[in-house]
Amino acid sequence: MSVKQARRITIITSTFNCAKDFKKTADSIRSQSYNHIQWIVVDGKSSDNTVEIIRENNDIISNWMSESDQGIYDAWNKACRFIDGDWVLFLGAGDVFNDEMALLTFWNLAPEYCEQYSLIYGNVYISKSDGKLRYLSRKPRLNYWEYGRVALPNHQGVFHRANLFQSDKSFDASLKIVGDSKFMMQALQISGAYHIDIVLSRMQDDGISNNRSSVRVARREIKKVCKDLNIKVPLSSRLYAQIRDSFYLLGYTIIPSRLIDFLKQWNDTLRRSKL
């Protein structure tokens, strides 16, 4: 891809007391062979040395701030007013690209006509905080239902067309967990998504939406988002999601933690066997 043809990529990262994880992300971005990057970092006024690590990487950060916020989607909204790229990707602290060629390979495979889509996405490795692989999230099609809503790719593998961000209120900051899902669901209603079948990034599985105490909040927010967007989820899919979440919560209440860890490892092994 020539410089003239290259898309400018905006990466947005929100941080809060996560210096060690943020350094992983910074090192990954620094190593990329793709040079057309704008990196925006919004810190929630960390009290550890996160800001120090941000300053150490100031040469590759285009815009950054550190101030109190109302959560991740409020932080992302603050970042949106600085976007000057063609496509926007959100990486959390600790999320990394799959290798130093990931961005270059991804955009070399992206056809010119992909500009007609709202979202372009790749595959994402789900890993533990120590970097060990759990499984691959690969969704070549999004024409099915999951978790009581339409299927969505992991946001760490999704490029959003920049013209979707029209204001500093692009994300619904009243949501605690599914604000990114709502944004992608709205984008899909506009012009759909295009899948590029390579592993773009690796995400840690310890985010807020993976915390079992957040299951009830996520379920309530998903229902509200579907209603707000006039998405008619089939009854069978809603019941399946409700039963799944109920068993999830019940399991963590009555099943010993060691057995839960074993079941997770067994499930991850099955997922890896399908790679």
- Count the residues in the chain: 275
How do residues 42-56 score in pLDDT, each as one tens digit?
A: 999 999 999 999 999
In the predicted model, what is the mean pLDDT of residues 226-240? Answer: 95
Domain count within the chain = 1
Distances (CA, A) of 14 to 55, 98, 249: 15, 20, 29
Structural domain that includes position 133: 9-273
State the Cα–Cα distance between residues 21 and 61, nearest whole angstrom.
16
State the Cα–Cα distance between residues 199 and 97, nearest whole angstrom.
9
Q: What is the pLDDT of residue 246?
A: 82
Q: What does the mean pLDDT of the chain come to?
A: 89
267/86: higher pLDDT: 86
Give domain status of residue 1, yes or no: no
Give domain status of residue 3, yes or no: no
How do residues 146-157 score in pLDDT, each as one tens digit?
A: 999 999 999 999
Give domain status of residue 93, yes or no: yes
Give domain status of residue 4, yes or no: no
Give domain status of residue 2, yes or no: no
**Which CATH number is 143's domain given?**
3.90.550.10
Under a CB-based contact definition with an 8 Å cutoff, are residues 128 and 201 in contact? Answer: no
Please report, for the chain, how many H helices and E strands are present, in that order.
8, 11
Give domain status of residue 245, yes or no: yes
Extract the tokens encoding 190.
């506009």
Does residue 206 register a pLDDT over 80? Answer: no
In the predicted model, what is the mean pLDDT of residues 65-73? Answer: 95
Give domain status of residue 231, yes or no: yes
